[in-house]
Amino acid sequence: MFSEHLLLLRNSKVVPDPDGQITMKEIGTEIKTKEQLRNKVFPYLQQHSRDHKWLCERVILAPRNDAVGQISSTLLQQIHGPFQFYKSIDTVVDAFGPVPYPVEFLNSLEQPGVPQHNFEIKVSAPIILLRNPDPPKLCNGTRLVIMQLLPRVIEATIITGNSRGEDVFIPSIPIKPSDLPFEFKRFQISVHFNFCHENEEGSRAVLQDCWPQPWHNLLLSLSALRGVSRVGSSSNLFVLGPEGEDQNIFYPEDLISCDM
């Protein structure tokens, strides 16, 4: 029944209401608050933080980067141990250009696929690579669990792919975003939290290409239909419906373009 309903969505056979919305009850379990969602997707996180298979089976999809940060920070609090902070070095390639950019402005930039300026993390936390330092072993989308936090390097264990179980070191590298009107360089460790991801076009490509295993998944936007199809059962899918809402926006163009 779950797969049949997803096919109806994919083929635009589910008719939305006059407001362009569709009911979510046939897709997953409705949850009212973010706290409930975190507890459903990552129950007893401290006890399972070293269970790599358990971590690979679940993820949270959020519509915005700020939501990703909030959810991930809250989940990190559940893992015992101190935080380690990694701050990037941000510069403009053409320092003598016509427009001066203060360092504070560069630090505030959060571009898709670029690590944060101020990245805080703990041992045993799951992370995901944002670049390709050593393909095919270490590439964009590789999932790892942190084993040791050194001053300028992270030691982690790979938990997906053919190199699963191998320990690696991830150093800081220079990263140049290509979607800015000026040349900007950030020197930082190229990883991000793996509890939660922004649900955008780039994220959907990662969902399809890198993680074929089933998920215990939280969905915050129907445009991540590829992610939904990885869950396998409506009992493993939790949908955020704040203030009792039980509908979500219906985007036919997204559903038609998704590969099942």
Do 186 and 76 fall into the same domain?
A: yes
pLDDT attached to residue 242: 59
For residue 195, the 8-state DSSP code is: S
Do 99 and 182 fall into the same domain?
A: yes
Residue numbers of the chain with a pLDDT score lower than 50: 200-224, 243-260
Do 55 and 70 fall into the same domain?
A: no
The radius of gyration of the chain from alpha carbons, rounded to an integer in Å, stands at: 19
pLDDT attached to residue 229: 63
Do 144 and 114 fall into the same domain?
A: yes
Do 59 and 155 fall into the same domain?
A: no
pLDDT attached to residue 67: 75
Do 22 and 121 fall into the same domain?
A: no
pLDDT attached to residue 11: 67
The tally of domains found in the chain comes to 2
Do 250 and 164 fall into the same domain?
A: no
β strands within 25-114, DSSP E: 29-31, 58-62, 84-87, 89-92
181: exposed, middle or buried (Cβ count in 10 Å: 0-12, 13-18, 19+): exposed
pLDDT attached to residue 85: 93
Q: Which of 179, 194, 209 is the last residue of a domain?
A: 194
Do 190 and 69 fall into the same domain?
A: yes
pLDDT attached to residue 186: 95
CA distances from 147 to 41, 127, 165, 246 (A): 23, 11, 12, 40
Residue 136 preceded by cis peptide, ω within 30: yes
Each residue's pLDDT tens digit, 185-200: 999 999 988 887 665 4
Do 48 and 69 fall into the same domain?
A: no
Q: Which of 173, 194, 215 is the last residue of a domain?
A: 194
Question: Domain range spanning residue 44?
Answer: 1-63+199-260
CA distance 21 to 227: 19
Do 71 and 19 fall into the same domain?
A: no
The two three-digit tokens of residue 220, written as one number: 């915050």
CA distance 260 to 141: 20
Q: Evaluate if pTM is beyond 0.85.
A: no
CA distance 257 to 260: 10
CA distance 12 to 6: 10
Do 71 and 165 fall into the same domain?
A: yes
Q: Which of 148, 173, 194 is the last residue of a domain?
A: 194
Do 77 and 189 fall into the same domain?
A: yes
